[in-house]
Structure formats: C-alpha cells, structure tokens
Structure 1
Amino acid sequence: MIHHNSDLIFRLPHVYNWGGGFDLSPDGRSVVFMWNITGHWELYLLPIDQSAPPRALTAGPDSKLFPRFSPDGARVAFLQDQNGDEEYDVHVLDLATGAVINLMPDTPEGLNEWLRWSPDGQWIYYASNREKDFATYAVGVADGSIRRLSHHAASDIMAEPSPDGRYLAVTAQSRGQDNAIYVIDLNTGEEHQLGREYSLADAASPDWSPDSRRLAFVSADHGMSDIGLYDLDTRRIDWLTSGDHEYYAPVWSPRGHRLVYQAHRVGNIDLVHHDLVAGPIFLPLPPGLCNQTHFTPDGQRLIFSHASADRVPDIWQISLIDHSAQPLTQSMPADIDRTQWVQPRHLWYPSLDAGVSVPALLYAPRALPADARPPAIVYVHGGPTGQHENDWYPAVQDFVQRGYVVICPNYRGSTGYGKAFREANRFDLGRGDTNDCAAAADFLAREG
C-alpha cells in the first residue's frame, strides 16, 4: 500500500469522464478513449472482451480529444490544438495504417468540443464561430471543403445526425440559460424548432431513435430536467419523467424500445434503464458519476464511464440481463489502497438568507475523535452554472487526508436541483450565492 502522497494523488491517471471522452465502435467490439496516463490526453483502443491491453493510437506533445469512430469503424476523428491554444483542428486517423490527416490545418476560429460523422462517412459535423456566432458546419473528409448547415440566430453547441442521414438535431443556446433544439432537413435546408408549437422554452441533449422518426431530449420547462420524446411526423411530445429527480442525457437502444438516461440523486448521477412498455428501473451501480452511455449493438450491455470520490474515472460495462458490472479500464495503480479515500455525505444547511436551504456534499476524515474540532475548508465549485457531484476530486481527498473537513456547497445557481434553483443567482451574482457559501462556514462552526 502507498500511503498519502500529495504529488501522487494529483497525478493519478484517468479516463476523460465529462462527455465525448470515448466512443464505442459500430460493431461493439472496441472502444476508443481519452487517457492521460502519459501526463496529457492521448487516444487508446481497447477490445471490449479485454483480450488485449489498451493500445496507444496517438503520441506527441499535444492532447488529442473527443474521438469518434467513422460509421464503418475504420477511422477515428478527433480534435487537436497546438500548444494549448484551443484552436482545434479536425483530424482523421486510419486505424489500419496509423496515418493521420489534418482536415483543417491552422484553424483560426474556435470549435466546440464535440464531433459527429455523417452516416455515409463523407462529412464530419462540428460547431464553430468562423462567422462570428457559433453555427454548425460540415467538413468534407475527402477534400476538406467546409459547408455551413445552420442559419438560426441562436448559438450552436452541438448536433446529432439522424441515422438515415437526412436530419440534424442541433442544440443551441437560445435565451438566458435555456437551450433550443433545431431540426434541420439537410435535403432542403429547412429548420424548425422542436416544441415551438407548445411554446417549449428549453430543450437539449437530443438523441435519435433508430428509425429517425423520434427524438429523445431533455427539458426543464416543468421545473426539473425531464426526458421527453418528440415525434417528427406528428410533432407530439410525450414525457417519460415527471420531475421527481433531475434527468439527463437520454440514449436509445438499438431496437428503439428502451432508453437509458441519467438521474441526479443526492449528489450521484445514476443510470435509469427505461423499457417503454415495462417502465423504468434504476441500475444497481456503485455510487458516483455515471456518464457517456452507449448501448452495445445487441442491446444487452451498456458501456459507460464511472467515477466517484474514491474511484478515478474509468470505462465500465453493465449487463442488462443480470446487472453484473465491472470496469473495462484500470487507471488506478494496483498498489494503491482506495479505501483511504472517503465518500461524501449529502446534506442541506440554512443560508444566510432566511428561508433558503443549500445542498452540499460533506467529506470528513475517517477517524475523528468525538470531541475533536478539526480544521475545515469550504470548497466552492466553478461554473457558476454547475454542481459538485460525487466525482473524483483529488484536491478534496488531499485535504481530507491532511485532517480537514471539507464542505462543497451547491449554492444558488447550481444545477441538479431544478430550474428555479439553477436560475436563482441570475442578475444576483455575488450576493445570494456568496451568502450560501459563507453560510457553509457558519454551519461547520456550529456543528463542530
């Protein structure tokens, strides 16, 4: 066992866990993923049956990011910048030869951190600000030609092509903290906003059904982030969830009769397996943050990333038959005892403003004497629109190992607790949210 070492804990390698960090091959036999075992992000290939160890696909001084398999599984597209300038170029790697082509050398504009292939493999979709506002573009794989595809006023974040190749579902920032989904007919260029007939204010995270006729999406219009199903022909919306939790990131099964999505519960991001006939069940997984979910082509397993307070991010799989689950990657060195790290406790405490309760995660050293008053730290997350989840935070574990109690407030403006709470610091930045964080220190002093 290696005892506490600050340098070590901050250098522990892990898989990228926050969206776009890995992709499942079309045949379901392998994953390509971002791994920082060398000290920065490189791409690796791993067979799902673990018949071989991860194989490095890239090398060099610059990080390679957000890999996506081509529809035939023969190539991988990824983003790469130069010397950390965040002016990403789109690259394509041939898996058979190892040759890499830069489709967009010396890109002068900014690109959002995602890529998608067209189903015919001829184009790669991305969002950039090459014409001032962020819009969706396509770059030709054969010749590097660029086409603009979206023409609405909102600022594009990402796009999902329909399996039949006819449509793009584009998520864009629309008004305030709301998003909108624009469905673009690539044959005609016509765009329509999902749910406009119902005055839907917020929609994001679209995922196409296998027949390209329905979109699963997320909306906070009912107060919490809920999962809806949008019928492309009738423009009808059916709601799968009803606001008991915040739900995110729906993914269709290969046959289109089930979905998987995330649920925020007391600081954890759990997975829900929803059969459209039998209903939803929460999958039995360790507490933590489950993300980046993919169905295998046979629909019998999920491949996803998982991290928690005592587990660095890795790629996992779970059987949808018997619910057995295990990691596919093993980023944590074998000689490290992860039981030295502590899981947080979710709690609420009163803010300095009357009538306001603040959610938080509390980390405490394991062996505190009953009469001890240990030093404490209020650890404030960034954003401001974000949240502190049961994820891997090496700084928090370092503090706890040194004997500190750490409280991580999800102050007003944080996600995970409904739209009203998320927007509670709009036009009030630095007052209410600061009061929430200051009250965390009072809470610790009061509770000892």
Structure 2
Amino acid sequence: MGKKAPMTLARGLFSLLAWAAQPLLRRKLRKRAVAEPGYAVAVPERFGHYTPADLGQDGRGQWVWIHSVSLGETRAAAILIQALRERLPAMRLLLTHSTATGREEGGKLLRTGDVQVWLPWDTLAATRRFIEQFRPAVGVLMETEIWPNLIAGCANAGIPLTLANARLNEKSEAGALKMGLISKPAYAALAAVWAQSEDDARRLRNVGAKVSAVLGNLKFDAQPDEQLMSRAANWRHGLRLAHQKPVVLFASSREGEELLLLEQLQKQPDLAGAVQWLIVPRHPQRFDAVAQLIADAGFGVSRRSQWGHAADAGDAPPLQDGSLWLGDSLGEMPLYYGLSHLALMGGSFEPLGGQNLIEALACGTPVILGPHTFNFSQASDLAVQAGAAFRCSDMAQAMQRAVALVQDLPALAEAEEQARHFMLQHRGAAAATADAIVKLIRAGRNGNYS
C-alpha cells in the first residue's frame, strides 16, 4: 500500500470548491431528472448519506468495490465482474456509478448480497462517510475516473484503490498536467494502475501514476448477448429472403452528427435508396429529438420501440419504403450490430473522440470511422491496420464507402472475417486484471499490499 496522502494547499482549495458547488450539483440533478428520471433516484447518496443507515455495514472489509461512471464503463466492468466471480465465488460486489444509464445497466449485474449506490460527490465529508460506511477490501475505478479526495481518503484508510482498464488520451493528459498540483498526487496515491496500451501507460506515468502493468482492453473480452445475436441473425435472414437492401448502422451517434448524415441523404438520393439506414443515438434522452430531425429532413421514421412483439417473434423488422430506422431502445446494441452489415461509428464525425468500436467488431460487424477517434486511438488504429475498420475524412466519404463496401460481397465478407479475427487476437485483459485484483485482496489480508 502506498504512503498516506497529506492535505495539500491545492487539494484544500479543490475541497472548498467542491463543497461550495453542492447546490449547483443538486440543481443539475433536478434538471437532468426531467429527461432522465434516474437522476432523481437516491439523491442523498450523492452526498454520502445512505438509507437505511446500516446499508452495507455487514459487508465491511469484504466488499469488492467497482466504480463505473457511465454506460460504457459499466459494460467493461461487467466483463471484469464475471472474471472476478469465477475467482471469488463468494464475492460481495459494491457497485457505484455517476450517471443514470450506468446505474440502470449496472443493476443487471447484481446478485443477492450485492449493493449498488451512487459515487459520492468529492467533498471531504461525503467521501469520508462513504469510506466509513463500506470499508471495501479493494476499490477499482474503471478507465479514467480520478477523484482527489476519494483517492486520498482510501489511501489514508488503508484501502487499496486501483485504476483498471486505464486510458488517458492526449487531451486529458494535457488537462491533467495543467492541474498537476491536484492530479499528480491523486494518480500517485493509487495502489495500482493497469493500462490498456503502452501509449496510455506512457501518458499515465507522465501525470504521476505508477503503472503496474499494461494488460490490454477489457472490452476485447466481451461476448455479445446470444439471444440478441440469434434474433439479429433471424432478422437478417428474413430481410434477405424478402430481397431487402443491406443494413448500414450509424451507431452511438452524437448531437450534430445525425444532421451530417441526413444532409448527405438529401443531397445524394442514391445513397438513401441503396441501403437501409439505421440510426442508434448514443444518449436515450435524444431519441425523440432524433426522430424529429429525421422527419424534418423529409424521411419516414420507423422506430424500434414501435415494432412490437410481432417483430421480436418474427423474421424481420416491419418494412416501410423510404423510411429510416431509429434504434430507440436500451441494451440492444448487439441486436443492432448483428442486424447490420456495416457500422459507421458515432462520435468520430465531430471532434468528440469516437465511441467504442470494439463492441461492433465483437459482433462481426466491420466499422467505418470518421477522423476523430482519440478516445479509442489504439484500438481504432489497430483495427484499421487489420482491415476490420476503415477510416474516412468526413461523413460524405464515409457514406459512399459504406454503400460501396456492402455492395461488394467478397470485400464485405473479408472485412467481417478480419473483425472476428481481430477480436480473438486481443483477448485476455479480463483474466489478467481479475488475477491482479485478487492478488491485492489476498495481500491485504496478510497486511501487505506491495
């Protein structure tokens, strides 16, 4: 275990600002809850207050605590949790989140005896109450989460807090260096850091982290839901029998990106008619807004939420000539990827860093990327090199490339094979990370975290 984390002037100022910002956080939660009611759930937990008062007390010293801020991190955490349960069958899971979508997804991972709460706001008092309440055997922050008071509190309480599946892009590295008086002591106080790639490890070391190992990306160990993939295969078969067009998915699209696609469909009617376009927005609170964007652009909208039980039990989604499909459901990305012949990756056509392409490749779906993939730079570059993904300079080029590829059946089949092969080559991070966590827990029981 590392040294205790002293209160520095910089962290003291940060703590004062975090305390003063609490009313603003409450107001933000109320506003977010209008569109996403999950933000109104258990608000006192955000400030370190738990109901009932003894929640989690009987698991003190036993909890394996995992924090996954939002949906993507929770899906990565699910892979790690499965590996941990295989090694620790009696494990009691303490699962924390910061977003409503993360908490909803995380609820699916709970077993009897597990507990799920919000991560407290990073004030001295809230983090102290959280630590005293649960006293976990180990803490695992997923990917990028760094909270100075939480990390210092765990260090001072003798709780090994780690950063797993750790990544740090160049933009975040620059931000951390600017805030070095706060961020460097926080990174340095972590008991272990397991990086996704050598580039991530280099940047993490540069901001003060003691990187223990480079273990790869947990998301390569993902296994798509078999039931959803089976339904997708049935739908694809039904569409083929009906001589319908191939499906091209715009996956996890972000605000502003749907307009780019719709503008190209308006300018180039051949693109609109060549394939069946399916749009799945990244954030569920935007489903209705995206449906309106499609209608305003002059296209019909066929929404997944309106396909009904007949589609679920049948051979294909309902067919409507000239309509764009809108995937307005949660937890069905494997269905959408499996149904589609090719995917355009959202977040990469605006300077947002791109969304996770690994889930698409796990479903055997090749990917077309825009120019902005800094959130998943290594995975994106490797997938392009392997022929499982293709990079384009803008939306117009991406859509033209997509239509050309799905119409070239041998080239499409080769890309699908490369996607599957690429995933197999990069598996193993879940087992390695779980083994490292178990080693920390056992070392702690012997009084030695080194």
Coarse TM-score class (shorter-chain normalised)? under 0.3
Structure with higher strand content: 1
TM-score by structure 2 length?
0.22
Structure richer in helix, relative to its length: 2
Greater relative contact order structure (CA < 8 Å, 6+ sep)? 2
